[in-house]
Amino acid sequence: MIALIQRVSRAAVCIDGEQVAAIDRGILALVAAVPEDDDARARRLAERVLGYRLFADADGRMNVSAAAGGHAVLAVPQFTLAADTRRGTRPGFSTACPPERAAGLFDVFAAALAAAHTPVATGVFGADMQVELVNDGPVTFWLAS
């Protein structure tokens, strides 16, 4: 699985003009599945997101994870992260996990986050979402499991 994580001051997800999820300071994780992914990889990615040190410690170094710092996580499914962009000017999606399977993997990922940490909020798989965020830093990392 793939996650593009961003340290945010705040982030929110809206669907049809209605806010469905929001966090203050924390991590926005845009998440995609690829065909070889399974439940174990989804759980491992959740561990990595929670444990990745991108918040400042007392010395100003990125040395504190969301789990250690008690920061929120907003997980948003985004299959376009798995696109094949190696050629041309139009992405191909044969490298992404089929939607039916990807939805289940995203659910496993979100459940693993929620079982290990709070607060956790999520977007809605398959929905046309508007994601608002204030990237703090900016700090952005690409993680894979």
Domains of the chain, each with CATH number or no CATH: 2-137 (3.50.80.10)
Distance of alpha carbon 68 from alpha carbon 26, whole angstroms: 12
Residue partners of 40: CB distance under 8 A and separation at least 6: none
Q: Is 11 in contact with 131 (CB distance < 8 Å)?
A: yes
- Catalytic residue list: 78-80
Helix (H) or strand (E) segment spanning residue 111: helix 99-116
Q: pLDDT, tens digit, for every residue of 79-127?
A: 999 999 999 999 999 899 999 999 999 999 999 999 999 999 999 999 9
Output the pTM of the full model. Answer: 0.96
Query: Is pLDDT of 55 > 90?
Result: yes
Which residues make beta-bridge pairs with 78? Answer: none
Query: Is pLDDT of 145 > 90?
Result: no
Please report where in the chains the tokens 């399974």 appear, as a residue.
38
Cα-based angle 64, 115, 95 (whole degrees, multiple of 5): 85
